[in-house]
Amino acid sequence: MNANVTVYVSLKEGVLDPQGSAVEKSLHQLGYESVADVRVGKTMTLTMSGDSKEAIAKQVEAMCDQLLANPVIEDFTYEIEEVLSV
Amino acid sequence: MNANVTVYVSLKEGVLDPQGSAVEKSLHQLGYESVADVRVGKTMTLTMSGDSKEAIAKQVEAMCDQLLANPVIEDFTYEIEEVLSV
């Protein structure tokens, strides 16, 4: 089975987000005062193959724990979309 | 009206993604051979207020054009979720 997996990595609630603060400040300087808060995160789109959706999910969680997300300050979610071969 | 807006910024098709290649290489070194391709993008979650959903959408598109996305090499999409005040 082939799949496109999208992993969303975001900072945990309460963790300082200097990047988000910098973006917010720039938006205010450009005149966008209606923006009250900005949080920046990452997305990773992976093309993967595996025996089943469950097997792919297990691999994705292991990859997130090992590399893609920092468990101390980041949370992750993911979506698995099967790619049907034509 | 208050809203949470999530902006997804990703590299355009065909644009080289050195960050994605680096992540892919690391995953292979960790033994995850089933990963064939990795593309890295950004998400920005904004807390905003505006007169209407259309007004907020217009602001988000202007902010993306001006700051949040590089129109030469990046595409963006966004979702607007109204926040109901209790």
Q: How far is C-alpha B64 from the chain's CA centre?
A: 10
- Residue-range definition of the domain harbouring residue B46: 2-83
- Looking at the DSSP bridge assignments, the partners of residue B3 are B48, B82
What pLDDT score does B84 carry?
Answer: 85
ipTM: 0.89
Instruction: Say if the Cβ atoms of A34 and B45 lie within 8 Å.
Output: no
Residue B7: give its domain's CATH number.
Answer: 3.30.1280.10
- Look at chain A and report how many structural domains it folds into: 1
CB distance B43 to A8 below 8 Å: yes
Question: Closest Cα of chain A to B29: distance in Å?
Answer: 11
Q: Is the pLDDT of residue A86 over 80?
A: no
pLDDT digits (tens, 9 = 90+) for A64-73: 999 999 999 9
